[in-house]
Amino acid sequence: MRSKKIPDIVIRRLPLYLRTLARMAAEGKEITSSDQLAEQLRISSALIRKDLSYFGEFGKQGTGYQIRFLQEQLQRILKVDREWEVALVGAGNLGRALAHYKGFCNRGFRIVAVYDNDPAKIGKMLGNLKVKSASHLVEDVRARRLKMAMLAVPADHAQEVADQLVEAGIRAVLSYAPIHLTVPDGVYVQYIDPVVHLQRMTYYLGNRKHSNLKGF
């Protein structure tokens, strides 16, 4: 299976399937179908079946999917059948929100260290983590062999911190700073910038009849 190159657009949808399945499971459901998933996600059931078919046969015609089984398979495919330890850089308001966010732990991720360069923040507790000096970032991350980090620092510092993270062995960065980061090949960066989403929507406000906007 893995010898096929699977389009990234397919990979992007798998976390959404997994999230929807988790919600169904939490509601006590045991079986679902591509039609039900399609209705939840507002995409076509044919697309869902095609996406899943890249990875194997997960359901039987007419009987649908065992939710628990499909969850396990998607967790394995996305490699969140384990827990990834994540470094958080930036202990401002956003860093605080991330440190307290309950949605990471049962979805494969745990923030294990928080760094900041502000002496007023260093040593303070953020949830159950003590904010450490950013001067320890590289040695700490390397010693703990962390592979993932979240960046919640101002745009002006983001590239510098990203460079340190890469130096320390980080392979995947989720950046909240509204700038494009330069990283070497083999290091992945994803960006979260609320304004990008807001501006995409304002384009369509008033352009209703031309809308191609998809939910995600």
Count of residues making up the chain = 216
Nearer to a copy of itself, 129 or 192 (CB): 192
Any contact of residue 86 with a copy of itself (CB under 8 A)?
A: yes
Q: How far is the CB of 48 from a copy of itself (least distance, A)?
A: 13
Please select the residue that binds a copy of itself; options are 33, 84, 144, 157, rule is CB under 8 A.
84
Nearer to a copy of itself, 64 or 108 (CB): 108
Any contact of residue 98 with a copy of itself (CB under 8 A)?
A: yes
Q: Which of residues 55-74 bind a copy of itself (CB under 8 A)?
A: none
Any contact of residue 115 with a copy of itself (CB under 8 A)?
A: no
Can you give the three-state secondary structure of the chain, one letter per residue? CCCCCCCHHHHHHHHHHHHHHHHHHHCCCCEECHHHHHHHHCCCHHHHHHHHHCCCCCEECCCEEEHHHHHHHHHHHCCCCCCEEEEEECCCHHHHHHHHCCCCHHHCEEEEEEEECCCCCCCCEECCEEEEEHHHHHHHHHHHCCCEEEECCCHHHHHHHHHHHHHCCCCEEEECCCCCCCCCCCCEEEECCHHHHHHHHHHHCCCHHHCCCCCC
Q: How far is the CB of 112 from a copy of itself (least distance, A)?
A: 14
Please select the residue that binds a copy of itself; options are 48, 64, 108, 140, rule is CB under 8 A.
108
Which segment (56-64, 65-73, 129-137, 143-151) binds a copy of itself by CB under 8 A? 143-151
Any contact of residue 5 with a copy of itself (CB under 8 A)?
A: yes
Any contact of residue 97 with a copy of itself (CB under 8 A)?
A: yes
- For a copy of itself (CB under 8 A), the number of binding residues is 75
Please select the residue that binds a copy of itself; options are 42, 62, 63, 184, rule is CB under 8 A.
42
Joined tokens for residue 78? 């996305």
Angle 18-172-96 (CA atoms, 0-180°, nearest 5)?
A: 80
Nearer to a copy of itself, 46 or 97 (CB): 97
